[in-house]
Each structure stands twice: as C-alpha cells, then as structure tokens.
Amino acid sequence: LLLFNVSKASAAEDIKIIYSIFSRTINVNTLKTFAEEGYSTKKLKRIFKEYKPSTVIHLAGQAGVRYSLINPQAYISSNIVGFANILENCKENNIKHLLYASSSSVYGDQKKYPITESFIPNPKNPYAKTKLQSEKLVKRIFKNSKII
C-alpha cells in the first residue's frame, strides 16, 4: 500500500482517515508514505519495484486556486505530469486498487448542492483544469483495465 501525499504533516492526518475507512479491506499496516515535491520516473520505478504495492492512494498534487493563477506551470507539472508518471507505474505494476482525490473545483460555480459526479465539468481556473485533466488521464490510461 503506497500513499503519495503533499507533506508529512498532512500525511499523518490522512493515515488516520485511511485507516478508519480501509482497515477491514486492505492491510493498512503495510502502508508506505511518500511526501515530497515531484517524483521522477526513475524514482517511481524504484519505489514500485521495492514495495510491490497492490494499492496506491494518491492525495498529492499542487492544491489551491489562487496560486494556480500566478503559476499554472507548477500545477501542470504536479497535477498532470507527476500524476501521469504515477499512473503509468500503476499500470506497469498491475496495481489492483487506486484511490485518487480530485476536486469539486472541476465543476465550477454551481447553484445546486451537494455537487455530485453527475454534474457537467466546468473548470474556471488552472487548478480545476489540471484536476479535470487528471481525471481524464485515469480514464484513458485504465480504459481497458480492471483497476478499481
């Protein structure tokens, strides 16, 4: 079980949540946490080879709308390119389960709440656009896969 997260501080809180949700279905005692900026293809290959996970939880990525307006390249690099690298490694290593956190920002301004996945995406800023592209990457890369 691999957890990719933004920082070690947020990983501690996320681990508590993950444990409460998944403790009956996956062995959370095998959880390995990785929290740092950017994962090179080479480093990811090493991580996947060393730990041989069956489940990957991806909660990392560049977050926040405001900064995305100033530095959209950081969001493209992390939320699209970095995530694509993780997805490719998941596919190459026959990962059985992938948990990925997107954002309700992909739906833009809504009049109705709660927002559900049946809403039509309408991203309004670079952050939301990169999160939507990340969702599309999952669908494209695992189109013919049995990953859940």
The residues annotated with a catalytic role in the active site are 127
Q: How far apart are CA 28 and CA 97, in angstroms?
A: 13
> Rounded to an integer, what is the distance from CA 12 to the centroid of its chain?
17
The conformation of residue 124, written as its DSSP 8-state character, comes to -
Residue 35 host element (H or E)? strand 32-35
For the chain, how big is the Rg over CA atoms in Å? 15
Report whether the peptide linkage leading into residue 114 is cis, meaning its omega lies within 30 degrees of zero. Answer: yes
Q: How far apart are CA 90 and CA 117, in angstroms?
A: 24
